[in-house]
Amino acid sequence: MRPVSSGMPPGPGGSVAVQDMAVQDMAVQDMAVLGVTAADALECASRSYEVQQFAARVARCADEADAVLAALARLELQSWQSPAGRAYRVALSLHAAALHRSRDALLDAVAVVLRHARNVAQPADRMGP
């Protein structure tokens, strides 16, 4: 299961925050080589950090959707065999499916926002894909 802090498992280098700082440091060093001023480099790194924080908030939303999906699974009331119980379970499963799709979209959004954070950290003439 993903950690609650960012929705992304930490790599071999340690926590996500430590990895984020390493990415920012490399971006600042790359900019210095290209003749970008230190102030510009720090501004890009700061913007990148803000975008990374946004990605972490989106990941927390996906985690919350996981918690709601787990709660919905507990509400299925399998022992309630009346027509009303069956209709309730059908409605619940439709809502759970929609929430699952939304959760997947949130996880996709996290990846896109993190990619954007990397691009923000780069000078305009070195923008990545």
Q: Using a cut of 0.95, tell me whether the model's pTM lies above it.
A: no
With beta carbons less than 8 A apart as the criterion, state whether 121 and 44 touch.
Answer: yes
Report DSSP letters for 46-115, one per residue.
Answer: HHHHHHHHHHHHHHHHHHHHHHHHHHHHHT--TT--SHHHHHHHHHHHHHHHHHHHHHHHHHHHHHHHHH
What tens digit of pLDDT does each residue of 19-66 get? 555 555 555 555 444 555 766 666 677 788 888 999 999 999 999 999
Domain limits of the chain? 16-126
What tens digit of pLDDT does each residue of 53-100 get? 999 999 999 999 999 999 888 876 667 788 888 888 889 899 999 999
